């Protein structure tokens, strides 16, 4: 499909080029004809004036000869232009024939490729539409729902069979139809690539499997037993010492991302999970931007969660924005952790429109609570500087600027990276098939508009309703993945 579009584009481009050349030749010819005719007309006028004044001049025969010579020159030039035009038309027709021949070759190759895909599917080998090295939906039991998002749902699942039989995972299920309708296939593919790129890095979500069916995409990740920081901030208030550990672990996570050319763009309390030991796990890379090594770290897309967006991201100028947007979001997260979920630009007790929130972020100074320590207020205010170049972390040193701030004085970054520093909160052991940290079990849950099982029901993913969307295979080609640890097992 893409090859055909490129061919059509080249075809149209060449046509425009040839027409432009012909037009240029015609214009040149017209100018030259005017230049040749002008002297002749002047000579004829001079001849008439001389005759009227009685001045002897050459006879009619000489004038007729000059006119004939001029006509011969004009016809010679016209014939030359015609020969050039005929040559161009001949070359154009040959080019058209070559393009048609190439299209035929491409069509034959596509037929052969589709035939090979069909043969592999019948043999049960390499069918990435439903498999990833033998992994599919039938190998997971759904225990309950962990969360419901815009494009899909996150489930707690238990693996059936294989070296990791019985292990609990969080499975993110995305609807292809929703992704395509919202024109975000690139986001889904980028999320999968980012998860693979950051695998086994501390404080970042770890992927184990990725596969797809005709209607859905599946990401199988580590199960974060402790829920997310948004829920915990409502359940309890954190002291500055406790919040400092979560903030420091998130700083390390963002530092790992930025060094690998990855911009998160959606850092918020809901996306900072807590693992079985209570350590922070930065997740949800659905709107992340992944840069090539030689590419300038500048983005222009409008994405993320409004309350956490930096001013330069909201305004979407031609200059774009860079990694500093993540440090702005961290400033919002820090304030919310220390104030029980209160944002410096939003008030939960007062209803505010989207326009009012945008105005506050772009124009107003952050409203930082006075009961925070001097260092905490200074840390937050420097993260929420409007100018990204003056923002803490916006300079060349990046995360090192945050690590040197007095608010984080005394943090042993080496021990923190190795998780030798205990987390402030350790999740309690629960019966995972019946435990908390999910939606209310009495609440009916809908998935893509269809009723789904209750949270307490054990089932398989094959029971999930489908929403068919045609021609998805090529869009999500290469999505499947199995972690090296599974291969080694």
To the nearest whole number, what is the mean pLDDT of the chain?
78
- Can you say how many angstroms the Cα of residue 420 is from the centroid of all Cα atoms in its chain? 35
Token pair for 154:
């996150």
Q: Coil, helix or strand for 129?
A: coil
Short-list 132, 142, 128, CA closest to 447: 142
Q: Which residue stretches of 139-273 are H helix?
A: 176-181, 185-197, 229-235, 240-259
* 414-424 average pLDDT score: 94
Short-list 57, 64, 281, 185, CA closest to 473: 185
Whether 312 has a pLDDT exceeding 60, the answer reads: yes
Whether 417 has a pLDDT exceeding 50, the answer reads: yes
Please, what sign has the CA dihedral across residues 7, 9, 10, 14? positive
- The segment with the largest mean pLDDT, out of 3-12, 144-153, 194-203, is 194-203
At 436 the pLDDT is 39
Q: DSSP labels for 444-482?
A: --EETTEE---TT--EEGGGS-----SS-TTTTTT--EE
Name which residue leads in pLDDT, 6 or 453: 6
Contacts of 100-103 with CB under 8 Å at 24 or more apart are 102/7, 103/4, 103/7
7 CB-near residues (< 8 Å, 6+ apart): 99, 102, 103, 106
Percent of the chain, pLDDT > 70? 70
Whether 2 has a pLDDT exceeding 90, the answer reads: no
* 361-377 average pLDDT score: 93
At 317 the pLDDT is 78
Distance CA 454, CA 463 (A): 12
Distance CA 84, CA 86 (A): 5
Token pair for 428:
């309690």
Distance CA 202, CA 252 (A): 8
Tens-digit pLDDT profile for residues 266-294: 999 999 999 999 999 999 998 999 998 88
Tens-digit pLDDT profile for residues 99-154: 777 777 777 767 766 665 555 444 433 333 344 556 888 899 999 999 887 667 99
Distance CA 123, CA 175 (A): 27
Distance CA 58, CA 44 (A): 11
Q: How many residues does the chain have?
A: 489
Name which residue leads in pLDDT, 265 or 448: 265
Distance CA 466, CA 473 (A): 16
Query: What phi, psi does 262 have (nearest 5°)?
Result: -120, 125
Poorest-pLDDT segment among 10-19, 122-131, 233-242: 122-131
Q: What does the DSSP 8-state code read for residue 373?
A: -
E strand or H helix that includes residue 333: helix 324-338
Poorest-pLDDT segment among 157-166, 199-208, 446-455: 446-455
- The segment with the largest mean pLDDT, out of 196-200, 209-213, 249-253, 457-461, is 249-253
Distance CA 131, CA 260 (A): 29
Tens-digit pLDDT profile for residues 43-91: 555 655 655 655 554 556 676 677 777 777 777 877 787 777 777 777 7
Short-list 475, 474, 470, 473, CA closest to 129: 473
At 45 the pLDDT is 59
* 432-443 average pLDDT score: 39
At 437 the pLDDT is 41
Token pair for 284:
């949800």
């Amino acid at each position: 499909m893409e090859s055909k579009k490129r061919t059509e584009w080249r075809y149209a481009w060449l046509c425009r080029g040839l027409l432009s050349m012909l037009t240029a030749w015609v214009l040149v010819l017209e100018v030259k004809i005017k230049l040749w005719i002008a002297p002749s007309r002047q000579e004829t006028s001079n001849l008439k004036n001389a005759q009227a004044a009685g001045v002897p001049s050459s006879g009619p025969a000489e004038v007729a000869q000059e006119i004939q010579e001029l006509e011969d020159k004009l016809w010679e030039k016209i014939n030359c232009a015609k020969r050039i035009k005929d040559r161009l038309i001949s070359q154009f027709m040959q080019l058209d024939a070559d393009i048609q021949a190439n299209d035929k070759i491409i069509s034959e190759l596509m037929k052969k490729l589709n035939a090979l895909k069909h043969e592999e599917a019948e043999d049960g080998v390499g069918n990435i539409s439903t498999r990833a090295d033998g992994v599919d939906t039938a190998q997971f039991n759904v225990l309950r729902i962990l969360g419901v998002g815009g494009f899909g749902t996150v489930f707690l699942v238990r693996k059936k069979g294989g070296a990791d039989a019985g292990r609990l995972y969080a499975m993110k299920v995305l609807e292809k139809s929703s992704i395509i309708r919202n024109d975000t296939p690139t986001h889904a593919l980028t999320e999968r690539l980012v998860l693979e790129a950051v695998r086994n890095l501390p404080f970042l979500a770890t992927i184990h499997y990725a596969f797809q069916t005709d209607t859905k995409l599946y990401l199988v990740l580590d199960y974060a037993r402790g829920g997310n920081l948004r829920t915990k901030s409502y359940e309890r208030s954190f002291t500055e010492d406790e919040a400092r550990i979560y903030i420091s672990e998130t700083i390390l996570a963002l530092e790992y991302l930025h060094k690998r050319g990855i911009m998160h763009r959606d850092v918020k309390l809901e996306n900072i999970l807590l693992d079985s030991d209570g350590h922070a796990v930065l997740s949800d890379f659905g709107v992340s931007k992944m840069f090539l090594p030689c590419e300038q770290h500048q983005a222009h897309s409008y994405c993320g969660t409004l309350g956490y967006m930096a001013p330069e991201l909201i305004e979407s100028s031609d200059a774009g924005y860079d990694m500093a947007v993540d440090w702005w979001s961290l400033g919002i997260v820090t304030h919310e952790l220390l104030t029980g979920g209160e944002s410096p630009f939003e008030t939960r007790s007062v209803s505010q429109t989207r326009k009012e929130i945008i105005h506050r972020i772009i124009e107003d100074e952050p409203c930082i609570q006075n009961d925070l320590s001097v260092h905490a207020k200074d840390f937050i205010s420097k993260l929420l500087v409007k100018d990204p170049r003056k923002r803490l972390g916006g300079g060349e040193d990046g995360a090192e600027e945050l690590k040197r701030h007095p608010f984080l004085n005394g943090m042993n970054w080496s021990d923190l990276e190795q998780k030798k520093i205990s987390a402030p909160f350790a999740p309690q052991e629960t019966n995972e098939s019946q435990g908390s940290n999910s939606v209310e079990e009495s609440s009916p849950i809908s998935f893509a508009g269809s009723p789904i099982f209750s949270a307490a029901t054990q089932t398989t993913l094959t029971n999930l309703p489908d929403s068919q969307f045609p021609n998805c295979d090529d869009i999500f080609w290469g999505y499947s993945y199995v972690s090296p640890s599974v291969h080694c097992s």
